Structure 1
């Protein structure tokens, strides 16, 4: 019995391996728009797809970022400036993209642009701290997608949304986790709606990687600023020892847990865009695959215990 089961599992894995190696034809004629290409995943993906021969439209927030990318890529790659929090900027970008792709439509849209700061206990933050992150990571992603969906439908193409392990399980405060939960929900709904049109929507869920979002100095600065701006009563409730312990935990976590191989993420993005049979979800990084995503399926009480960062109790906790 076990032998038959092993054979069936082996055949299934072999078939899956074969299917996932098949590629979409005529990639050199397909246009892909990527947001957030100044640095990090977006920058690497733009260069990676350009090397594969695709027609990359790289959206950058700043002109220096766009110039640096153009210098590192072939003449096929084109850049545009895009602020995903500005409706005017998104509308102008959509018109620019339509002028480039024409009747062929837009084969791929990669919603990669994102911010993370500030991250801190929620009670230390203000409403505007949440709004800033949500406007980039979720509201901007939604508006960019809605603006470009007619072009993606025209090509019967792909949408790739960058979520996070923190869209599965939230273990620190701020707007980042709620925004990534929202990306997961929006992606699920739009995937079902677009399936009849032949459009595939994929979600990429990276673990911890060394990017601008995980820069140690910037994260610690944002945490310290949140602590300093918190009401005096809140600081008294948590206590200075709690803050210093949290700061040390942040620094240690960012220093030791972040993977420097960004290609593990961009490889998932590339597969979602170029594979004949793409996946619906991609977990990027061993920490995502073997720790955080399995953790999200555990009973809440058990997951909470396993996520306990070892902080002391707040000063005024009973």
Structure 2
């Protein structure tokens, strides 16, 4: 009898949660939203999608070419802005332009999407410059954009959506990307709690492996080769001359395995989470996206460190010589 009661209560809770999750805010047509990183990928699709849904979109692109291509594919409502999130003066000018446009209505949605991966590799291969770029873009730039847009979002009692990664839950290798995403998750949590009193809701989206520029295998390999070529002989000896080639094979296997398992080629999965965060009466705190994120990376991130290390290291290439020398 106890089992049946628990089962019925579970079904009832699931049904209530599902119905609650479907509740939407009405009268959002014509609301202003600002999206960063719209040259390609998630940001580009999001800008075009929300434009079609009637939002008044400000879409920032890093390049003039990206801005022109996006504008050509969108309606007259969409406005493109050229923005380098690491340039504080540029960020301030964009914020002033948006402020002048939205007026007393404020900004309903801020989607912090701009990001880079930067060089990756064993930590002792890297210099501080390799860490600096992704941290400046993915974390410091995101924070700066948020601080400049926050008064406008507070005015509208709107939404902030930060695009993180499963890399904000689990660090797979060395480089600035994972520290930047861990930092983003911390900023997201503190911001969310600070904004509750003002009616602003903050969400974090955590995509798994998607076939974007960030997962460009050829680029990653070239960057790693360039770093290898500049390593001192002693470090190369420790790793062995075959390490780089074996690493290429592992990277190809890792990316291919991730894509085969998750089939994360559909960018609309991420955009759907953005839409829910912008339009739901009860947006989620976090949105893991992709089968690999939900079935592997997020569960693994909650397991003991010993299990994480076993899973992540079991396919790693072997060192030729681990002695200092």
Aligned to 1:257, what secondary structure does the other structure show? helix
Contact 2:204–2:287 (CA under 8 A) maintained in structure 1: yes
Cα deviation for residue 253 of structure 1 reads: 2.0
Matches of 1:17 and 1:277 in 2, distance apart? 11
2:128 corresponds to: 127
Alignment of 1:92-111 (within 5 A): 92-111=93-112
Contact 2:250–2:317 (CA under 8 A) maintained in structure 1: no
Matches of 1:280 and 1:170 in 2, distance apart? 21
1:306 corresponds to: 311
Aligned mate of 1:279, from 280, 284, 292: 284
Contact 1:215–1:254 (CA under 8 A) maintained in structure 2: no
Unaligned runs of 5+ in 2: none
Matches of 2:305 and 2:133 in 1, distance apart? 29
1:70 corresponds to: 71
2:187 corresponds to: 186
Alignment of 1:36-55 (within 5 A): 36-55=37-56
Q: Deviations over 1:250-275 (max 9, x none)?
A: 12222342321111111111110111
Unaligned runs of 5+ in 1: none
Residues paired across the two proteins, number:
318
The TM-score normalised by the length of structure 2 is 0.95
Contact 1:29–1:54 (CA under 8 A) maintained in structure 2: yes
Matches of 1:119 and 1:227 in 2, distance apart? 11
2:30 corresponds to: 29
Cα deviation for residue 309 of structure 1 reads: 4.5
Moved more, 159-168 or 240-249: 240-249
Aligned to 1:278, what secondary structure does the other structure show? coil
Alignment of 1:236-255 (within 5 A): 236-255=237-256
Cα deviation for residue 170 of structure 1 reads: 0.4
Aligned to 1:37, what secondary structure does the other structure show? coil
Matches of 1:306 and 1:255 in 2, distance apart? 17
The TM-score normalised by the length of structure 1 is 0.97
Aligned mate of 2:299, from 277, 294, 303: 294
2:213 corresponds to: 212
Cα deviation for residue 313 of structure 1 reads: 2.4
Q: Deviations over 1:44-65 (max 9, x none)?
A: 1111111111111101111110
Q: CA RMSD in A?
A: 1.1
Matches of 1:71 and 1:88 in 2, distance apart? 27
1:317 corresponds to: 322
